[in-house]
Amino acid sequence: RARRRATMGFSFLPVMEYLSRRAFHAARLCPHTVTLPRDPGEGSGARTIHYWAPPGEPRLPPLLLIHGFGPMATWQWRRQVGPFSRRFHVVVPDLLCFGGSSPSPSSPAPSESAQAAALAALLDALPGLPATARVAVAGTSYGGFVAYSLARAAGPGRVGPVVISNSDLLKTAEDDRAFLQRAGGEWASMAELLMPLDARSARRLMELSFYRRQVTSMLPDFLIREGVQKLFSDKREEKIELMKAIIIGTDEFQLTPLEQDVLLIWGDHDQIFPLDKAFAVKRCLGENVRLEIFKETGHVPQMEDPDRFNEVVLDFLLASQKSPNQHDQ
């Protein structure tokens, strides 16, 4: 009881948010919000995208970082924005239904294609970014689905090299069932585990997401419970509907090769999307795909091994700039 009273005034969320925002500000990224044009046939209300980017017009090549189905974009890309911003005009959006971004209240839960269309509209709205500028794109986990959709829809004239990290673009309902079995078979749905509201589920999710034990997993139950309830209560129903709206494997989302150069990254101990799926995804993405396997990492190598992740991604992006493909000629 004394220990609990001593920690009653502590919450790890403000600490994590402070560290993340400090990294973004140090990279000279500022928060922005843009209202997107209304789609034909869309009902009342407006779509808004919150994003981080440097102030003013781009002076460096643009790079879009797309977060996964985790708590915050700033947490997921905290270790990347500094190194990347030295060579790129880095843009980090909140996807629709996440953070400060919201879909139209009258619209259904956005699919990956709808998320990609919103990001394409964001690129069109960025101050000073020419309509002819090619944008490099990197997505992690769910963000990889969106990155693929954006690259395919926009084409190589608009989207340049693509980085996809730990994204099972061939995911099926059977894969979801297998994941729940790996988790212990005690959760009835993906939403219960991927958006936990109790300490036990949160600890299990951390074990499945990371190869290395996280400091936050050693916090007392009541602190973890307080944290995840704050993190995963925001837009919870919308995110559950979004999860149900994933269209992988349907006629609308058939995995076909991309014309762009693709860097596929995978942690060798990923328990959410196991490593064997990386080879299947690589075979389907075409001839321009390079696979990098990160040893002793789980589902989020950009967080567990940020130095190597940054080095590999920067080498790939800079090499793609120096060796333009036929679409640049």
Tracing tokens 């000073």 back to the chain, one arrives at: 128
Residue 259 maps to a domain: yes
Alpha carbons 83 and 314: distance in angstroms, whole number = 9
Nearest to 24 by CA among 52, 62, 64: 52
Residue 123, domain member (yes or no):
yes
49 part of a folded domain: yes
pLDDT band at 43 (very low <50, low <70, confident <90, very high): low
Domain assignment of residue 243, yes or no? no
| DSSP structure string for 261-322 | -EEEEEETT-SSS-THHHHHHHHHH-TTEEEEEETT--S-HHHHSHHHHHHHHHHHHHHHHH
Is 113 in contact with 253 (CB distance < 8 Å)? yes
Position 253 confidence tier, pLDDT thresholds 50, 70, 90: low
Q: Minimal CA–CA distance to 145: which of 243, 223, 224?
A: 243
Which domain CATH number covers 315?
3.40.50.1820
Asked whether residue 43 is assigned to any structural domain, the reply reads: yes
Model confidence pLDDT, tens digit, residues 173-194: 888 899 999 999 899 888 888 8
Element (H, E) at 190: helix 190-194
- Residue 296 belongs to domain spanning: 12-171+251-320
Q: Is residue 132 part of a domain?
A: yes
R_g (Cα) of the chain, nearest Å: 19
User: How many separate domains does the chain show?
Assistant: 1
| Cα dihedral 172→208→242→39 (10° resolution) | -100
Q: Is residue 177 part of a domain?
A: no
Any domain includes 147: yes
The pTM assigned to this predicted structure is: 0.91
